[in-house]
């Protein structure tokens, strides 16, 4: 799961008997070719998986362009494609903050500053880094929460996709869930991380080439960008608080506040106050999203770090996130822009606009489903097959990413430590394959649980963010300060997480103390993350002052000050130098921010 999807409201459409989209033979042909290819890649790469390191880390052998594209694709779940286009409609270009503030700076920091320690220390997982830097307790907390939440998030993504397929294509929920789970199972079971990464790269190109035509078609349908801006300049759009959304959904026709649609064209305008579509202020965006949540996700989440650990050498590992930063920064034009451009084309998707000619519009026609609705309206047979296959690919890449990260953390950090240490490598390879099946079965199970109680969905994603938020404090103090101690790291994790969870509970129950209440969930989550970071960092520092630190020799390769700088290869061309790529990515992101300021 991605930070950008963390707050994305998810499609919770009511089951719908009649299909909105009817597929033709050509659409099926494209879908079948795709399924044959992903399974084929699994079978071919499976032949190379002979040791546990082959299976869990691709034998640390892949070039940077492959791991870089897999880095983006693994967290590009169906929820991102659906959720970001929805937010493009609901909030406009402000949604791009999830990319230009909430992703790129952290990705660049990861590549330049943190990757040398992850890759250089030869750890096999993020929890293992915590064990080496701090202690077994820190590893356990991180591994346990990761192993619990990763399949759950995957199940939520599966549920969301199955609902879309049910509502738009008339497919049975069980069919969508089991067919997609079975395909992912076949290729991850056979080829492990290599199959997952290879397919993630294929899926990356498929998602781009299947969804990018939507931006082009939406521009044609709007008679060009200039014409669209004229529409924006002359219209007002609903300015929705969560309470208003709920009220409008419960009672169609409820009046909501309006604001000029021009506000939808900016990322930061009017963020001194909350008078903007997202109701957020800039310090919350910069500190909460841009620093704590973003760095916690992109720099410490094993789902993304694992792709870089599969790289063939240190330079490739560093370039994995850096190369990923470039496509990531243009993704808003593929996933957010279609939602924004849909405003004049599908004008009735806001809550409160739920009647046309006095008839209730089905729940499927809410902004949650703006992407499939646009596809249904503008994609003819053929392109429709490509678009739907891209949606399915986005879901599968996310699920395979989650499952391969889950089986690695479970095998290396829980099973091999607490259940059966010192077993032969073949045994761990076997456990990894079994856990691939278990991970997928748990995901499917969770898809059914969520189906029964859709309220759980929002909670699980929020809690994942809440649990993740304090991590970066402990990692930064571990990598860039020598005085932090094992007990300091452990208590930093505990206090940070406890603070984060407590603040979330306070925000969830209006009857509790008022000082941490915000008038929308996004702002609350941003500030909750900031306070959790402060508490985690504070606890790490204070406990470290009174407890015993590890010997310096044990920290070589793990802490900046104690690690000899690797010799710089002067012969590297400029486009292979991490610092050059990092600066270039930041400059381009700054330009994008200024263009849409």
Partner 1 sequence: MMDLRLPIGIFFVLVGLIMVGYGVVSPHDIPHITEKVNINLYWGIVLLVFGAPMTLFGWKAEAKAKAEMKAKKL
Query: Which of 528, 112, 163, 471 has its CA nearest to residue 308?
Result: 112
Give me the least distance between CB of 24 and partner 1, in Å please.
9
d(CA 160, CA 12): 7
User: Which of 142, 123, 137 is closest to 300 using CA atoms?
Assistant: 142
| 356's tokens | 């046309």
**Residue pointed to by tokens 């080439």:** 209
Of 198 and 491, nearer to partner 1 (C-beta) is 198
State both tokens at 383: 């392109």
Summary count for the chain: helices (H), strands (E): 26, 4
**Residue with the two structure tokens 């879901």:** 395
User: CA 218 to CA 258: how far, in whole Å?
Assistant: 24
Q: How far is the CB of 334 from partner 1 (least distance, A)?
A: 14
Q: Minimum CB separation from partner 1 for residue 192, in Å?
A: 13
Query: Which residue, 99 or 228, is less far from partner 1 as judged by CB?
Result: 228
Applying CB under 8 A, which residues contact partner 1? 26, 29-30, 33-34, 37, 40-41, 44-45, 48, 61, 66, 194, 198, 201-202, 205-206, 209, 213, 217, 220-221, 377-378, 380-383, 386
Tell me the closest approach of the beta carbon of residue 190 to partner 1, in angstroms: 14
Question: In the complex, what is the shortest distance from the CB of residue 330 to partner 1, in angstroms, rounded to a whole number?
Answer: 16
Nearer of residues 37 and 430 to partner 1, judged by Cβ: 37
Least distance from C-beta 71 to partner 1, angstroms?
15
Rank residues 386 and 592 by Cβ distance to partner 1 and give the closer one: 386
How many CB atoms lie under 10 A from the CB of residue 250? 9
Element (H, E) at 236: strand 236-238
Q: Which is nearer to partner 1, 45 or 301 (CB)?
A: 45
Cβ nearer to partner 1, comparing 381 with 591: 381
Q: Which is nearer to partner 1, 206 or 467 (CB)?
A: 206
Minimum CB separation of residue 324 from partner 1 in Å reads 16
Among residues 371, 370, 94, the alpha carbon closest in space to that of 259 is found at 94
Compare residues 229 and 312 and give the one whose CB is closer to partner 1.
Answer: 312
Q: Which is nearer to partner 1, 391 or 471 (CB)?
A: 391
Return the percent helix, strand and coil in the chain, to nearest 5. Answer: 75, 0, 25
The dihedral sign for the CA sequence 409, 449, 471, 488: negative
- C-alpha to C-alpha distance for 311 and 117, rounded to whole angstroms: 14
Place of tokens 């309220």: 455
Q: How far is the CB of 392 from partner 1 (least distance, A)?
A: 14
Least spacing, CB of residue 87 vs partner 1, in Å = 24
Q: How far apart are CA 72 and CA 76, in angstroms?
A: 6
Our CB check for partner 1 shows the closer of 147 and 217 to be 217
Contact 547, 488 (CB under 8 A): yes
CB of 230 to partner 1, least distance (A): 17
Taking a C-beta distance cutoff of 8 angstroms, is the pair 221, 251 a contact?
no
Strand ranges (DSSP E) for 536-581? none
Q: How far is the CB of 342 from partner 1 (least distance, A)?
A: 12
- Between CA 440 and CA 446 the distance in angstroms is 10
Nearest CB to partner 1, comparing residues 368 and 389: 389
Q: How far is the CB of 400 from partner 1 (least distance, A)?
A: 15
Cβ contact 52:306 at 8 Å: no
If the CB atoms of residues 1 and 30 are measured against partner 1, the closer one turns out to be: 30
The full DSSP string for 355-381 is EETTEEPPTTSSGGGHHHHHHHHHPPT
List C-alpha distances in Å: 398 to 2, 225, 332, 401, 441. Answer: 10, 32, 18, 5, 16
The CA distance from 564 to 440, in Å, is 42
């Amino acid at each position: 799961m991605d930070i950008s999807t963390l707050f994305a409201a998810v499609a919770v459409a009511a089951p719908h008997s009649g299909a909105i989209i009817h597929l033709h033979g050509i659409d099926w042909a494209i879908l079948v070719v795709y399924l044959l290819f992903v399974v084929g890649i699994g079978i071919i790469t499976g032949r190379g998986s002979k040791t546990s390191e082959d299976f869990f880390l691709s034998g640390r052998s892949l070039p940077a362009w492959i791991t870089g594209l897999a880095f983006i694709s693994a967290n590009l779940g169906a929820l991102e494609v659906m959720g970001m286009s929805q937010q493009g409609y609901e909030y406009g270009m402000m949604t791009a903050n999830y990319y230009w503030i909430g992703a790129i700076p952290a990705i660049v920091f990861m590549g330049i500053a943190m990757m040398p320690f992850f890759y250089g220390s030869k750890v096999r997982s993020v929890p293992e880094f915590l064990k080496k830097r701090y202690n077994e307790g820190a590893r356990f907390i991180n591994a346990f929460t990761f192993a619990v939440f990763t399949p759950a998030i995957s199940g939520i993504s599966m549920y969301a996709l199955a609902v879309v397929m049910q509502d738009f294509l008339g497919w049975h929920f069980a069919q969508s869930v089991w067919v997609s789970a079975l395909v992912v199972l076949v290729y991850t079971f056979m080829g492990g991380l290599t199959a997952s990464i290879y397919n993630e790269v294929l899926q990356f190109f498929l998602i781009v080439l299947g969804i990018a035509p939507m931006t082009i078609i939406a521009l044609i349908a709007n008679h060009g960008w200039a014409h669209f801006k004229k529409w924006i300049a002359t219209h007002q759009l609903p300015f929705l608080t969560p309470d208003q959304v709920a009220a409008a959904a419960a009672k169609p026709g409820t009046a909501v506040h309006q604001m000029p649609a021009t506000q939808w064209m900016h990322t930061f305008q009017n963020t001194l106050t909350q008078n903007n579509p997202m109701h957020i202020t800039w310090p919350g965006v910069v500190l909460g999203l841009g620093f704590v949540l973003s760095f916690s996700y992109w720099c410490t989440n094993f789902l993304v770090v694992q792709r870089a650990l599969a790289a063939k050498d240190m330079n490739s590992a560093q370039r994995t996130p850096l190369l990923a930063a470039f496509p990531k920064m243009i993704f808003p034009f593929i996933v957010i822009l279609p939602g924004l451009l849909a405003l004049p084309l599908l004008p009735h998707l806001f809550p409160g606009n739920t009647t046309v000619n006095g008839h209730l519009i089905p729940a499927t026609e809410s902004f949650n489903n703006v992407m499939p609705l646009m596809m249904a309206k503008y994609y003819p047979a053929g392109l429709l097959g490509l678009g739907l296959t891209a949606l399915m690919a986005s879901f599968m890449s996310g699920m395979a990413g989650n499952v391969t990260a889950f089986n690695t953390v479970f095998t290396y950090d829980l099973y091999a430590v607490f259940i059966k240490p010192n077993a032969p490598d073949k045994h761990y390879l076997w456990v990894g394959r079994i856990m691939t099946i278990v991970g997928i079965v748990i995901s499917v199970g969770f898809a059914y649980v969520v189906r029964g109680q859709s309220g759980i969905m929002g909670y699980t994603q929020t809690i994942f963010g809440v649990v993740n938020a304090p991590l970066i404090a402990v990692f930064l103090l571990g990598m860039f300060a020598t005085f932090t101690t094992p007990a300091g790291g452990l208590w930093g994790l505990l206090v940070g997480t406890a603070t984060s969870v407590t603040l979330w509970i306070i925000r969830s129950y209006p009857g509790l103390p008022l000082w941490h209440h915000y008038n929308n969930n996004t702002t609350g989550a941003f500030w909750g993350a900031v306070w959790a970071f402060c508490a985690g960092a504070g606890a790490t520092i204070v406990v470290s002052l009174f407890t015993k630190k590890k010997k310096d020799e044990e920290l070589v390769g793990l802490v900046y000050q104690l690690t000899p700088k690797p010799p710089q290869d002067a012969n590297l061309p400029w486009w292979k130098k991490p610092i050059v790529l990092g600066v270039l990515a930041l400059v381009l992101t700054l330009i994008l921010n200024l263009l849409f300021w």
